Chains A and B, each alone.
Chain A
Amino acid sequence: NAGVTQTPKFQVLKTGQSMTLQCAQDMNHNSMYWYRQDPGMGLRLIYYSASEGTTDKGEVPNGYNVSRLNKREFSLRLESAAPSQTSVYFCASSEAYRAQETQYFGPGTRLLVL
């Protein structure tokens, strides 16, 4: 039982390049989330998927797209990376989309955009 896994662990991009961050969970959770973490800003929600087949914007969605590929997998895509997207990205999942549901986080992806 691996929990929430993320790939890659670290990535360097040049401005304008694109990439997809992958996330998978093996807990049969319905809801999945993408957060970014910047110094002094805490965790900010980018997109979430309350259930398979649905996705919605969070607090900071600009510059990102997501795909809920199936119940297990939720990917985050940067179409044209910008230096402002340099951050640590965390994927999380929970049994349902309610604030009282425990979220389980992956180890994170460190992204550097030059």
Chain B
Amino acid sequence: LAKTTQPISMDSYEGQEVNITCSHNNIATNDYITWYQQFPSQGPRFIIQGYKTKVTNEVASLFIPADRKSSTLSLPRVSLSDTAVYYCLVGDRTGAVGNQFYFGTGTSLTVIP
């Protein structure tokens, strides 16, 4: 049973806006949605987090609809350095252990010159 679902890969040209969507149908009421970025040969690092509606920081924006069953990470005007794998993280109320949370399989973003 997949906890989150993301596209496996995406390509984008430099300077374009990129939107990556994550589906999380079993998100728990009190859970937040967090996105991480991972460069090759490095550990993931935090990008942005939200609970509802829209959140924006200096790196990205996060859009969450009212039902919270999905979220969209938006990267404005991407550059080559944004080439990375992006992970969506949410809690799972259906997990047998109760309060565990899972990373998605990630979306590999390639930015093309």
| A interface residues with partner B (beta carbon < 8 Å) | 4, 35, 40-45, 56-59, 90, 92, 97, 99-100, 102-108
Taking CB atoms, residues of chain B closer than 8 Å to A40 are 105
Q: Is the CB of B91 within 8 A of A99?
A: yes
Taking CB atoms, residues of chain A closer than 8 Å to B103 are 35, 42-45
Instruction: Pick 6 A–B contacts, CB within 8 A, sort by A.
Output: A4-B43, A41-B105, A99-B31, A99-B101, A100-B31, A107-B42
Which of B12-20, B44-52, B65-73, B75-83 lies on the face that meets chain A? B44-52
Is B57 among interface residues, defined by CB-CB distance under 8 A?
no
- Least CB separation from B106: chain A residue: A42
Known A56-B97, A100-B49; contact A45-B42, beta-carbon cutoff 8 A: no
Q: Is the CB of A99 within 8 A of B89?
A: yes
Known A45-B102, A99-B34, A100-B34; contact A105-B91, beta-carbon cutoff 8 A: no
Q: Is the CB of B97 within 8 A of A108?
A: no
Known A59-B100, A99-B89, A99-B91; contact A42-B43, beta-carbon cutoff 8 A: no
- Least CB separation from B6: chain A residue: A42
Taking CB atoms, residues of chain B closer than 8 Å to A103 are 36, 44, 46
Give the CA-CA distance A93 to B104 in the complex, in Å.
18
Q: State which of A4, A59, A104 has its C-beta within 8 Å of the C-beta of B102.
A: A59
Give the CA-CA distance A104 to B87 in the complex, in Å.
14
Most chain B CB inside 10 Å of its own CB: which residue of A40, A45, A99, A103: A99
Q: Is the CB of B34 within 8 A of A102?
A: yes
Q: Is the CB of B97 within 8 A of A105?
A: no
Q: State which of A45, A102, A104, A106 has its C-beta within 8 Å of the C-beta of B49.
A: A102
Give the CA-CA distance A107 to B104 in the complex, in Å.
20
Taking CB atoms, residues of chain A closer than 8 Å to B97 are 56-57
Taking CB atoms, residues of chain B closer than 8 Å to A41 are 105
Give the CA-CA distance A41 to B104 in the complex, in Å.
9
B69 CB, min distance to chain A CBs, angstroms: 16
